[in-house]
Amino acid sequence: MEENKILLKTKDIRVRYNKVEAIKGVSLEVAKGSIVTLIGSNGAGKSTVLKALSGLNPIVSGEIWFLNHRIDSLLPQDIVKLGISHVPEGKRLFSRMTVLENLKMGAYIRKDKEELKKDMDEVFHYFPKLKARINQAAGTLSGGEQQMVAIGRALMAEPKLLLLDEPSLGLSPLLVLEVAKIIREINKKGVSIILVEQNAKMALQLAHFGYVLETGKVALDGIADSLLNNTHVRDAYLGG
Amino acid sequence: MNRKHYTKNFIILGTIAFLLIIPLLSSDPYHLQVLMVLLLNIILAISLWVIMTVGQLSLAHAAFMAVGAYTSALLVMKLGLPFWLAMPASGIMAAILALVIGSITLRLKGAYFLLVTFAFGEIVILIFSNFWESLFGGVSGLIGVPPPDPISIPFIPQVRFVSKVPLYYLALSLTLITVLTIYRLKNSRLGLTFGALKEGDLLAECIGIDIMKYKVMAFTVGCFFAGIAGSLYAHSFVVVTPIDFSFYHSVYILIYVVVGGESSFLGPILGASVLTLFSEILRKFGHYESIGYGIALILVMLFLPSGIISLLERIIVKVQELFKRIKG
């Protein structure tokens, strides 16, 4: 890849999680405007990579470059300001706050309050169903709706790069399709995305490029289509 | 929803009006004394609640109150400063101390921070009891703290704090100011940010909140009001001894918040009020006081796990239904 087309690059990063080395030297590249997926089984270190990128789990060694900034020693709030927005797995929402408050919290780091309205409208354009629930406590929404609020919240920070951790988790097959459609739509608007998924099939169909993580290392990488047809990937992650 | 708010506002305004006219109803100094303790406890409970809104607990709240009490008393007694300067100074002193302690220790999560506050509280009491005895007065503390200086307020005669009545009104004003300030804070953007911290550190970090900064801020604000309460205590009750601010007092403040209802703004206020009056009733029974207190606590925790406030809310709903039926 040419240097100026690269949005994010990691060089041989190592991360400890609970004192165990969870990431043992991972090098990734994300091209501007692309969707990159990290697939792998439970405990392969996918979420840990995302946490390293957003600064929640600092790296032990290696380098992370975002645009022209070296970001591996920055605090999470500074990384958000640069344009990386993380939707973590597990607790994704402030469940006692309303949908509207959650979206407002998403724009926490922004100073341009006039633009907020426009961006909020854009979020409702992606997720029209949320508009009716704007004053409802986020914790009372269904799983799919919560996922949508979480993605919407991340978009409110005007990210250049969106980190999505298991957006399909716990959703019905129909909702998975809907979320996939929205992810593609967001990407078309120019937001690059790193997608961590256990649902490898959905992830590889969406992504342009993929990395297969196994026990903290990149076992395989390539164009998403070629990974879909790779025998190892088929056997291990796509159910034969 | 609006009807509920009307009822709530009605109750709040009624309570304030009642508190305002109490000295006209009873001039018994004992009654006013109990009410002043109650008001102090409201300030302490609601300010501890601020710290709890970011998901932290503190067992040093009485110690910060002690810092305020000694600061204020010493500024007035040794340096001759007027009370009206010493009182804000005591709040600021407690806040500065909280800022320092908080900046160092709020990185600790959960029980660890709680243990640090416990240790800090003990250290403060130890220092006041055993060190610089000529200044702090040792175990017997400071005796003869003067009442607030007389002040002139337009349209009414000069206020001199010679009886319990003006002291009661001073306590009531400070309580209302504290409660109103914290209420405004709760409904501001800052309040929302505090709430975000309580709901999840990780998530708050994800959206770019400097969680350490806001935890320290909440701790500092909470301790500021504890310092103010200390000053009010010292100048209202003449004597300040270290034992007044022991670990048990901190636990009691925590209990006011939890029993009243931690999740609601009115909870700590209600908890402090009900439990202060309750312990006053139990006082007659001497040593059995704490047993009765303990049993009451267990009962509340068993039957009203979200605090006494939930009972009040249920009663309000019932009353409204009754009104509706009468009208209908």
Per the CB < 8 A criterion, the answer to whether B24 and B168 are in contact is: no
Inspect the interface and report whether the beta carbons of A88 and B206 lie closer than 8 Å.
Answer: yes
B201 lies within 8 A of chain A by CB: no
Q: What percentage of chain A reaches a pLDDT higher than 70?
A: 98
Per the CB < 8 A criterion, the answer to whether B195 and A97 are in contact is: yes
The chain B residue lying nearest A107, using CA atoms, is: B207
Angle, in degrees to the nearest 10, between helices B29-52 and B2-25: 150
Q: Check whether A1 has a pLDDT greater than 60.
A: no
Domains and CATH numbers, chain A: 1-83+159-172+191-240 (3.40.50.300)
Inspect the interface and report whether the beta carbons of B209 and A77 lie closer than 8 Å.
Answer: yes
pLDDT digits (tens, 9 = 90+) for A178-227: 899 999 999 999 999 999 998 899 999 999 999 999 999 999 999 999 99
Quote the ipTM score. Answer: 0.81
Residue B1: per-residue pLDDT: 47
Per the CB < 8 A criterion, the answer to whether B144 and B254 are in contact is: no
Inspect the interface and report whether the beta carbons of A95 and B199 lie closer than 8 Å.
Answer: yes
Q: Chain B: give the shortest CA distance to residue A25, in Å.
A: 24
User: In this structure, what are the phi and psi dihedrals at residue B264, rounded to the nearest 5 degrees?
Assistant: -120, 150
The beta-carbon neighbor of B203 closest among A81, A88, A101 is: A88
Four-CA torsion A156, A157, A160, A161, nearest 10 degrees: -90
B interface mutation test: which of A17, A74, A91, A94 has the most B CBs within 10 A?
A94
Q: How many CB pairs under 8 A join A and B?
A: 56
- Residue A10 — pLDDT band, cuts 50, 70, 90? very high
Residue B189: per-residue pLDDT: 87
Q: Check whether B180 has a pLDDT greater than 90.
A: yes
Domain ranges of chain B: 19-245
- Residue A30 — pLDDT band, cuts 50, 70, 90? very high
Q: Chain A: give the shortest CA distance to residue B214, in Å.
A: 13
Inspect the interface and report whether the beta carbons of A109 and B207 lie closer than 8 Å.
Answer: yes
A chain contacts of residue B194, beta-carbon cutoff 8 Å: none
d(CA A42, CA A59): 20
Per the CB < 8 A criterion, the answer to whether B88 and B232 are in contact is: no
Q: Locate B251 and state its tokens.
A: 């636990």
d(CA B233, CA B288): 26
pLDDT digits (tens, 9 = 90+) for A99-133: 999 998 888 888 777 788 888 888 998 888 888 89
Per the CB < 8 A criterion, the answer to whether A86 and A160 are in contact is: no
A chain contacts of residue B195, beta-carbon cutoff 8 Å: 94, 96-97
Inspect the interface and report whether the beta carbons of B195 and A96 lie closer than 8 Å.
Answer: yes
- Which position has the higher pLDDT, B25 or A78? A78
Mean pLDDT on A14-41: 91
Q: Check whether A43 has a pLDDT greater than 90.
A: no
Inspect the interface and report whether the beta carbons of A106 and B207 lie closer than 8 Å.
Answer: yes
Inspect the interface and report whether the beta carbons of B206 and A76 lie closer than 8 Å.
Answer: yes
The secondary structure of residue A128, as a DSSP letter, is: G
Would the CA dihedral through A123, A128, A130, A133 be positive or negative? positive
Per the CB < 8 A criterion, the answer to whether B257 and B306 are in contact is: no
Q: What percentage of chain A reaches a pLDDT higher than 90?
A: 56
Q: Check whether A53 has a pLDDT greater than 90.
A: yes
B195 lies within 8 A of chain A by CB: yes
Angle, in degrees to the nearest 10, between helices B211-237 and B83-105: 150
A interface mutation test: which of B186, B190, B206 has the most A CBs within 10 A?
B206
B192 lies within 8 A of chain A by CB: yes
